[in-house]
Structures are given as structure tokens and as C-alpha cells.
Amino acid sequence: MTVLDGKAVAKKVRDEVKARAEAFAAAHGRKPGLHVVLVGDDPASQVYVRNKERAAAKAGLEGQVHRLPGDTTQADLEALVAKLNADPAIDGILVQLPLPGHLEAQPVLDAIDPSKDVDGLTALNAGLLVDGRDGLRPCTPSGCMRLIEETGADLTGQRALVIGRSVLVGKPVALMLLARNATVTIAHSRTADLEARVRESDIVVAAVGRPEMVRGEWIKEDAIVLDVGINRTDEGKLVGDVEYAAAAERAGWITPVPGGVGPMTIAMLLGNTVTAAERREARGPRGGR
């Protein structure tokens, strides 16, 4: 068994991003710009946004956070997104979720210019993924695929199981595995006999949010196991959706929690921002789609 070390791979990705950001700045006289919108004072979101801000600066990006009060109106939030869309020096826009209860997330996400949608959550980018065309891909699924690349495995004809069907993780990662010619099954809360599906799978991506629900003994010998889940136990410990110690005895490759998929997400976000910047400059000064 080999541990898929997300921290080490994320560092590699961040180094690559930094080199690309420097080349971009040398060619265009400005750094790629990532702007994050944070509404309200949710403590977890504040930590995530601070981490993104720091990582952006370290990777040679121009990063800015727009902190809006918790009682911001839908119209004011959408007006800010429109302003960021119109600014040619901004390449990536990310609206930190969840938004306070009185705001609707979907219209805000839909308002983001798809060429600046570094979270890959607009309908256009989702459609481009379905169609197998170039677009900005969601960060956590891209991080999963990058980790799978590290194994050197050819996914052609392999049986892949994605547990979870969210727009953020499950669905996009399933499409990405399909694009690599895996035979993909998507499991969810209504799936019958999850154990049997796991037992037959060469690749398992667990994105549920239930502590250690995938038992180690279900894992097929030598399978690749990616654990997206982040769960805090009553004792305050972080665990994934997979029973790690027992699964590690059977898997060929496995991601730990923490230190697996988690660190990849921000690294892929930085990569998306540089990609968005490069593509926008290649399309001309107005940065159209």
C-alpha cells in the first residue's frame, strides 16, 4: 500500500502554478488576479478564505478578499459580482459558500462570468465538462484526478465507484473518471448494497460526509481509494468517509484524512486562476469567453 500524500502533491502543484504565474506576469505586466467574496462571519468560511488569500500570495497571484456584512442584500452581492466581471485585471472570482440564509446562492453563481469561474460551478462550465470540452473544472474533483495521476494507473476499463452525487464533488468527479475511460458507477443515499459496489471497484472515491462509513474490509485488493470526506468526531478528531486503517491494509493507494484530498483543493483553485488568466489574455484584451 502506498499513501497518496496530498500535502506533497499539492506542494508540487503550487510550485508549478507559481512558475506559470511568474511567466504570465513577465508576459503581461500584471499578476493573475483572484478575488474572493465572503459574506458574513461564518468562522469556518473565514478560515478557508484566509487560507486561500495566503496561498494565492505565496503562488505569485494578486489576491483580494471582498468582505461583506452578513445583512448584505442579494442585489448588492450580485452588483459586486458584476463589477468584478467587468474588471479586466480580475481573472478568477470565487464566492465563498455557504451564503447567509437570506441569500440565494445559485443566481449569484450564475452571475459569474464563466471565463472567471475558477470554482467551475456555473452552468456553462458544468456543460463543458459534460461535453468533454475545455472549461474551468471544479477544484476538489480536479484534485482527486491529479492524485490518481500520481499512481500512474491507466483507468481504461477499470471499475470506478463514486459515492456521493453532489454538484460540487460527486457528479464532476464521475464525469472526469468517465473521460479517462473508467467504467463509472455513482452511488448515493438510495443505492442498494453499497458494500457489493465497493467490493467490485478498482477505484473508490468517497464524497459523502459520514465518518468511516466505507468499511475497510469492503475495499478490493490493490484498489485506489480517494477519501474526500471531512468529518469531525465527538473527540474532535478529523476522519474521512473511509475506515482508513483497515482500508489501508487492502488498498494499493489511499489518501489519508487530513492530508489527502483536502490540500489539493486550494492548489487546484490557484491553477484554475492562472489557466483563466492565460485563456483570457489569449482571447484578447477584453477577455471574452
Minimum distance between the CB of residue 98 and ligand NDP, rounded to whole angstroms?
A: 10
Q: Which residues of the shown chain bind ligand NDP in the complex (CB under 6 A)?
A: 140, 163-166, 168-170, 187-191, 194, 207-210, 228-231, 261-262, 265
Is 203 or 228 the residue whose CB approaches ligand NDP more closely?
A: 228
Q: Which of 31, 52, 171, 220 is catalytic?
A: 52
Phi-psi region of 238 (alpha: psi -120 to 50; beta: other; left: phi over 0): beta
Q: Are 227 and 199 in contact (CB under 8 A)?
A: no
CB nearer to ligand NDP: pick between 65 and 238: 238
Q: Which of 91, 113, 117, 119 is catalytic?
A: 119
Minimal distance, residue 158 CB to ligand NDP, in Å:
21
Is 241 among the catalytic positions? Answer: no
Distances (CA, A) of 257 to 7, 59, 206, 260, 261: 11, 24, 12, 6, 8
- Which ranges in the chain belong to alpha helices (H)? 6-28, 43-58, 74-86, 105-111, 123-131, 139-151, 170-179, 194-199, 244-248, 262-282
Respond yes or no: is residue 52 known to be catalytic.
yes
Q: Give the separation between CA 165 and CA 186, rounded to whole angstroms.
A: 7
The identity of residue 122, as a single letter, is T
Give which of 179, 172, 184, 182 is closest to 141, Cα–Cα: 172
Is 96 annotated as catalytic? yes
Q: Which residues contact 89 (CB under 8 A, 6 or more apart)?
A: 30, 33, 62
| Min CB(206)–ligand NDP separation in Å | 8
Q: Which of 96, 113, 158, 220 is catalytic?
A: 96
Least distance in Å: CB of 190 to ligand NDP?
A: 6
Q: Please give the grid coordinates belonging to residue 74.
A: 442579494
* Shortest Cβ 287–ligand NDP spacing (Å): 28
Backbone angles phi, psi at 64, to 5 degrees: -145, 145
Catalytic residues: 52, 96, 119
